[in-house]
Amino acid sequence: MIEQLKIALCYSGQPRTWRHCLESQLAYFEGADISIFLHLWDEVRPDELGDILTQYAPADVFIEPRPDFSAQHRQLATLWPVTPTPFVFDMAYGIQQALGLALNNGQTFDTIVRMRYDTLYRGRMNWQAVDPQAVNVANWGHAACVDDLFAVGAPEVMGQYARFYDWLCQNLERFENRDTPGMLKPEMALQQFLHHRGVPVNVLGPHDFKIVRPGMVGRPFDLIRNDIQFQVEKIGAINACLQDAGADVRHKHKYIDIYPFKAMQTKIIAYSHAVGPEVMKAVWQGCWADRLLALEAMAVTIMADRCAKPELGYEDLELVRLMITAVLDQISDVQHLDVAGYVLKMCSLEMVDQRQGLAWQTQQKMDLAVALDQQGLIEAAPVILATLQHSLRLLQSVGVQG
């Protein structure tokens, strides 16, 4: 019986959006006898820390200064210089400390769970799918990778899982990535570690949770997505970390090195003044067709700023895609897609948008040109439709049919 299951929830990482996630996490494990264990860096504000300890009411907590991982960070960047991810050491160490609190607490637990503070859950835990002899994880989507956001297992196997940090420190040279030589993927490293230790892995299925970045707070579960602004800031922190460690490489990211996302956000503010408040109201509050026409006005303004060429080049069209992506990242309503929404989704640089667009197109089985003509969008939005054709060509070049 679930009521008799005694579990330890072991939290580590940054408690950025914990206030918006804790209730869903406890509900996910409803019916179990829960004890909570927390690992935290001493970087949390005192008032925030007080609220965390009150709300979580942990059986034990370990708060410490972040150790000096500079040697590990430098070694990782040297061995795996392609988009290095130095914070994998910080993550793995925190996991080890959090799980250690439960494993060494003196209580007997049926199950121990690796948790993050910033994950919003939906539904209830399916205990029948759990293999008691394995580390049970969500489906990451790649056979060579193990999801590192969540893990469930008996104390014996979670004790093995907790040693991921030790393996990283001692076996970094043994990691292999045949897909992308020179890149260490944390999820791939975790899979290789568990295989090396002989720990079986049971994939439970799709994620029942999503990471809630600061820009996604307050959104319904289905509308939570990648917080691009957060990602840009995170890459900046990674590169500062690499520089502090004395590494001579940097982590490259499409929204910094190819698409200047921060600059686009600034331009959107400037363009909002150029096109006027009514147009911007349509962007944020209008239907999909109104949004498309408003973004067309912004795109025309962008092109007027860039050049007087009659034809749009590759860089021009990619800049429009970046503008559309930046806008879609901030839209949090629940409108169902239509043909105009499909156009904007397929222009986006974000895979989540493209997947939504493709799913809608598959369901509708419509003639795109006819649908666009019926809404008068072919003549009204030439820049956006040129961007759509450009985006679809790029997607088709990598095997995506839109």
Domain ranges of the chain: 2-237, 259-397
Q: Which helix (H) or strand (E) holds 186?
A: helix 186-197
Helix (H, G, I), strand (E, B) or coil at 349: coil
Mean pLDDT of 372-401: 89
Contacts of 102 (CB under 8 A, 6+ apart): 8, 10, 35, 37, 60, 109, 112, 155
pLDDT at 257: 85
Q: Which of 45-59, 210-224, 239-253 has the highest mean pLDDT?
A: 45-59
Look at residue 389 and tell me whether its pLDDT is greater than 70: yes
CATH domain 2-237 topology? Spore Coat Polysaccharide Biosynthesis Protein SpsA; Chain A (3.90.550)
Look at residue 215 and tell me whether its pLDDT is greater than 80: yes
pLDDT at 366: 79
Map tokens 């969500």 to a residue: 138
Q: pLDDT tens digit string along 149-159?
A: 999 999 999 99
Look at residue 310 and tell me whether its pLDDT is greater than 70: no
Contacts of 352 (CB under 8 A, 6+ apart): 225, 226
Q: pLDDT tens digit string along 360-385?
A: 998 987 788 898 988 889 999 999 99
Helix (H, G, I), strand (E, B) or coil at 358: helix
pLDDT at 335: 77
Banded pLDDT at 1 (limits 50, 70, 90): very low
Provide the percentage of residues in the chain whose pLDDT is more than 90. 68
Mean pLDDT of 21-46: 97
Mean pLDDT of 161-168: 97
Q: pLDDT tens digit string along 170-187?
A: 999 989 988 888 999 999
pLDDT at 2: 42
What single string gives the DSSP state of each residue in 63-111? Answer: EEPPP--HHHHHHHHHH--SS--TTHHHHHHHHHHHHHHHHTSS---SE
Q: Which helix (H) or strand (E) holds 132?
A: none
Q: Structure tokens of 107?
A: 């209580």
Instruction: Look up the pTM and report it.
Output: 0.88
Q: pLDDT tens digit string along 66-116?
A: 999 999 999 999 999 999 999 999 999 999 999 999 999 999 999 999 999
Banded pLDDT at 279 (limits 50, 70, 90): confident
Banded pLDDT at 307 (limits 50, 70, 90): low
pLDDT at 141: 82
CA angle 238, 240, 246 (to 5 degrees): 105
pLDDT at 186: 95
User: What average pLDDT does the chain have?
Assistant: 91
Q: pLDDT tens digit string along 341-365?
A: 999 999 999 999 999 999 999 898 7
Backbone angles phi, psi at 91, to 5 degrees: -65, -50
**C-beta of residue 52 within 8 angstroms of C-beta of residue 44:** yes
Look at residue 308 and tell me whether its pLDDT is greater than 70: no
Q: pLDDT tens digit string along 252-277?
A: 888 888 888 888 888 888 777 777 88
